[in-house]
Amino acid sequence: MQRRGWRRFFLRGGRLHPLWRALVYLLSFLVAEVVLDLLVALTYVGALLLTGRSLMDVLGLLAIGRLPRPILLATGLTRLGTALGLALLLGRFLDREPVETMGLDRSRVGQDGAVGVALGLSTMLALGGVRLALGWADLGPGPGTPGGFLLDAVALLPLAAAEEVAFRGYLLRALTTWRGPAVGVVVTSLLFALFHALNPNPSWLAMLNIALAGVVFALAAERAGTLWLAVGYHFAWNLAQGPLLGMPVSGMKWEGLLGLGTEGPALWTGGLFGPEGGLLATGVLLLSLPLLWMATRRPATLAAACRHQRAAVEARFGPLPHFHHRLEVNAAQFDGMVRALDRYDRDGEVVLLLRRADGDLLLHTKSFYPVRAYRLPSGGIRRGEPVLEAACREAEEEAGLAVREPRPLGLLTYRLRQGRRRLFFHSWLVVGGVEGEPATNDDRERISGFRWVPLDELSQVATKLRALPPEWAGWGRFRALAHDAALRWLSSEE
């Protein structure tokens, strides 16, 4: 009994507990960050000494309260490489999760990134405008140059991306898996604030505002379903704050194209820490939430829907088995799935394991399928619909059967590939008892026949699906995977 308790403490669903996975990632990231930052600084100092600069001159450059651009750029690149490399490595071997579920979905890079940049620029420019209106700043040219501004932009982008991958990517996914989205957002936002606690001139209000910014970025990632909106917001916020307006960024000095400086009451302006240490930033961040809400819809990607569904299902039923598959399909199947998702506004699908009292499972075929191509029924999950409600609705629509005591059996996720195109998709396997014989309720489904099979015959069904003619081969391989999983998972329960 004691051994089982320790096992639950370290393992969940056959994998390392998500809290421990988050801790492994966080400690690895911080240790690598310290080591690489030290190497970057030593390399920079060594390079300057080799050019004939004196040690006092070099130390003077490092003591001005602003990172030299070479260090800033190198830090951004190494930090992004560390955050992304660890996320991909641990995600593959510890989490065994697709990268799309931590927001790395390439399909919306431009759209979400542009929205984020617009939000970041508008909120920081609004803050600067309030300072000017209150007489806490003078609008005039700063010491920055256009070339310096571009170099700062190149350096700030990987820095923002690295923090989003770490906090709103890997850590948010792991902590959401552990205790749901609310806990994930709160804990990652507090960690985000602590990550900046050693910056120059911190204060309690600065830490509160950075935590609030973490909440805003986390909500951006949750509602958009990708990290790109949060990356754009974070990047543009910092770019406008320092290189454009000349205000400190989280305690670090900047030479801006404009020179708004640090004048005004420190409680409101943030003083030497910059706007993030003042009440103006608190107000701007809070006011940005309605803008963020209007600019996004939740969830905007199937991967985000899958993550939210999984958190809700596992909160009720506990950890469930999960397999991820990479599958090559033809252009017709890929385009057909994209059209179906767009047309019906689906949040994934349910695969129905409808069992009679004798244990047999229901299969169906459709009029346009190849001859004798039977499979487990499936149907789309409507936007925002709970998984089990979708299963009961689909069983009634497709077979005219009422499901008794439905429960989730497990989750399949897929990365479908066609050439250079990628599509994330997921299927919930739901099992439940039924009575009576099936009957078609919806002619649009084009169901032409049903049959009952014992559990062990699912392997033969999967084999036949994999042996379909070439034009159906990709679809057959895709559909066979649910039958493999159903046989494996149901057999393990018997």
First to last CA, the chain: 23
Peptide bond into 143 cis (omega under 30): no
Please answer whether residues 117 and 230 qualify as being in contact, where contact means their C-beta atoms are separated by less than 8 angstroms.
Answer: no
How many whole angstroms separate alpha carbon 67 and alpha carbon 242? 12
pLDDT value of residue 180: 86
The angle at the Cα of 367, spanning 365 to 370, to the nearest 5 degrees, equals 70
Domain boundaries of the chain, sorted by first residue: 2-303, 321-493
pLDDT value of residue 295: 84
CATH code of the domain occupying 321-493: 3.90.79.10
Closest by Cα among 254, 271, 252, 255 to 263: 271
pLDDT value of residue 6: 67
pLDDT value of residue 338: 82
How many whole angstroms separate alpha carbon 167 and alpha carbon 179? 16
Please answer whether residues 156 and 120 qualify as being in contact, where contact means their C-beta atoms are separated by less than 8 angstroms.
Answer: no
Closest by Cα among 255, 258, 239, 253 to 66: 253
As averages over each run of 10 residues, the pLDDT of the chain (494 residues) reads 64 85 97 95 88 77 74 95 97 91 88 95 96 91 93 97 98 92 95 95 96 97 93 98 95 91 90 95 95 78 90 92 92 84 82 97 96 95 95 95 97 93 95 94 85 97 96 93 98 88
Closest by Cα among 287, 305, 323 to 486: 323
What is the pTM (predicted TM-score) of this model?
Answer: 0.90
pLDDT value of residue 268: 96
Closest by Cα among 258, 293, 259, 260 to 278: 260
